[in-house]
Each structure stands twice: as C-alpha cells, then as structure tokens.
Amino acid sequence: MQQMDLTPHPANPPAGDWQVRFSWQPTEHWLTLRWRVSGVGALAIPPLAGRGRADGLWEATCFELFVQHGEGPAYAEFNLSPSERWAGYDFTGYRAGMRQRKLPRAPVCSWRAGSAFSLFDAAIPLGGLPELPAAFGASAVIEETDGTKSYWALTHASDKPDFHDPACFTARLAAPLPP
C-alpha cells in the first residue's frame, strides 16, 4: 500500500494531539483505503448505523476521497463514515452540477478503535470510480468529544478548509495491475 500523511488545516487545528495517515491500494476489483488515526485526545465517532447511502456525513467524523480523471473539471467525491454509511457524488466542475454517483456495489466501511491508534478501512468498487489513472485528494473530518472539528488533507490550498479545491488533488491513483 502507498502511504501519505494528512495535515490539519491551520485555521481549524485539533484540540488533541493527532496524526492521520492515509494509505491506498488498487486491486483487481476494489480500491482499498485506510486512514490511521493516532494520538492523544477523545474522538467522537458516529454510532453504527449499518450500510447505506446517506448525506451530510461530513458533519461528523468522516473520511473522504476526491477523484478526478483527465484534464477536465469533473470529479467524484466519496464520503465514508465509521457508522458504515457512505455517499458518492459526481460534480461537473468545482462544487457545480452535483448528483448522486452510481456504484455497482456499495462501498465497505469498517472502524476499529484501539488504545494506541484507530483504523478506518474502506473499499470502493473500481467500477464505481472515474477512469484510472486519475488525480485524487484524500481527506478527513475529525470530530472530538468536546465538539472541536479539524479538517485534514494531503494539502490545503486556501485560507479555509476546502476539500473540493482541485489544487488539493495532488496524489495519483494508477490503474490496477492485471492479476
């Protein structure tokens, strides 16, 4: 798996001392994702709600992926929650033309809390992604029990958190290797 560290937006720092590491691996049928959250503090984790599509997941602890194929402005957004809820959207341009993204299967989400760190694993069916290779941005909204929310990304391009900014799509997602 390839790995990168996410950084909190300076305008919205966490109350606790957190680190967030993101890793990914395309396989034959899935894009597997992992966010590793470690540090000191108390996370607010949404209660288990079972698999299903839901809007507004970014309002609580949530993990996100933005994928853009080619040079055009269109991109896809995936919101993945420890509650097992998920959302997928297509945009025709920067925050424009939003509509539900069709996926051949629902993403799989799994939260595992530990004493030293917690893991959020997700898998998105490759058939639900824009064509690969593609540029992407990984991000996370981390909510703490005191209500503090921090916004984590591979990079931050403006003075306020904005995961939709194409300047944040700094990583490359290669097409999977044949089996």
What total number of domains does the chain contain? Answer: 1
Which neighbouring-strand residues pair with 23? 3, 34
The verdict on residue 179 lying in a domain is no
What the block records as the tokens of 146 is: 């005191």
Percent of the chain whose predicted confidence (pLDDT) is above 90: 85
CA 121 – CA 89 distance, rounded (Å): 20
- Pick the closest to residue 123 from 80, 83, 59, 178 (CA basis): 80
In this predicted structure, the answer to whether residue 179 has a pLDDT above a threshold of 70 is no
The verdict on residue 103 lying in a domain is yes
The pLDDT assigned to 25 comes to: 92
User: Residue 112 is part of which domain span?
Assistant: 2-173
Q: What is the pLDDT of residues 154-164, one digit of tens each?
A: 999 999 999 99
CATH code for the domain in which residue 12 is found: 2.60.40.1190
The verdict on residue 80 lying in a domain is yes
The residues near 56 (Cβ < 8 Å, ≥ 6 apart) are: none
The verdict on residue 93 lying in a domain is yes
